[in-house]
Structure 1
């Protein structure tokens, strides 16, 4: 009859071990979930960055077309892209021109600056922007 109290004390110890094990496993699951969420967010921002670059490239191509077909637009031109993968991007194209004369030959140089962005800086968590500068000889 003296062995019965000894068995009760040993059974209580395994309960503490199980609670500890469950706590450690739950903490590990939470950690893995957070790492997964950070990875997804990083991939989403990388994709948005690539889209912003493509939007800026589209603006640069538009600017080069404007320069080659009629000269520099008088003011900065902004437009919103509506193409399926670039929806939500605003592109601003700024153009300045300068005429250079070398050995009696006048050459017009066009300086294009293209800025593409999506979202609002400081208030949108997935805000991205890209800027491209280029020079076109006219």
Structure 2
């Protein structure tokens, strides 16, 4: 009897190689998608941070004109896609005494700017908005002291 010739090893190797190459391709596609989402999140975060900074600068401008109130800036939403809410809080206190024994009045102002890319209120309280993967919110706080007529704070 003649021994049977073995064949088919090349087919098995080709199938294994195709499965490995397909696995590598799937892994690369997933990494590309993850990287794109990361870059998008970083870009949205930077834009939200700059919008909050613009809100702080707007608040200082309003403070220089004597205005201190909580305001939502609609112009920011139209220009950048981010809604910005600026809160202004004043705290008055007495600090020591002057040469005549009178209390020295001080006033500390805290500006808080919150920017977010939700369509509603900012900051949002809606769980449906907060759980969206592209929702971004940034908060900036600045504190200053309003000077009295003597130039001291």
TM-score (norm 1): 0.84
In 1: Cα distance, 2:24 partner to 2:30 partner: 10
Which residue of 2 is the match for residue 134 of structure 1?
A: 142
The 5 Å alignment of 1:1-138 reads 2=2, 5-6=4-5, 9-10=6-7, 12-73=8-69, 76-80=70-74, 81=76, 82-83=78-79, 87-102=80-95, 103=97, 104-119=103-118, 120-122=129-131, 124-138=132-146
Which runs of 5 or more residues in structure 1 are unaligned? none
Which runs of 5 or more residues in structure 2 are unaligned? 98-102, 119-128, 147-153
**Per the alignment, do residues 114 and 70 of structure 1 end up closer, same or farther by CA in structure 2, a change over 3 Å counting?**
same
Cα deviation, residue 2, structure 1: 4.2
More helix by share: 1
In 1: Cα distance, 2:130 partner to 2:72 partner: 17
Cα deviation, residue 132, structure 1: 1.0
Alignment length (residue pairs): 128
In 2: Cα distance, 1:106 partner to 1:64 partner: 21
| Contact 1:64/1:136, CA 8 A, preserved across alignment | no
TM-score (norm 2): 0.76
Instruction: Return structure 1 stretches of 4+ with deviation > 4 angstroms.
Output: none
In 1: Cα distance, 2:63 partner to 2:144 partner: 8
Q: Say what the alpha-carbon RMSD is for the aligned residues.
A: 1.7
In 2: Cα distance, 1:109 partner to 1:71 partner: 14
Cα deviation, residue 71, structure 1: 3.2
In 2: Cα distance, 1:108 partner to 1:68 partner: 14
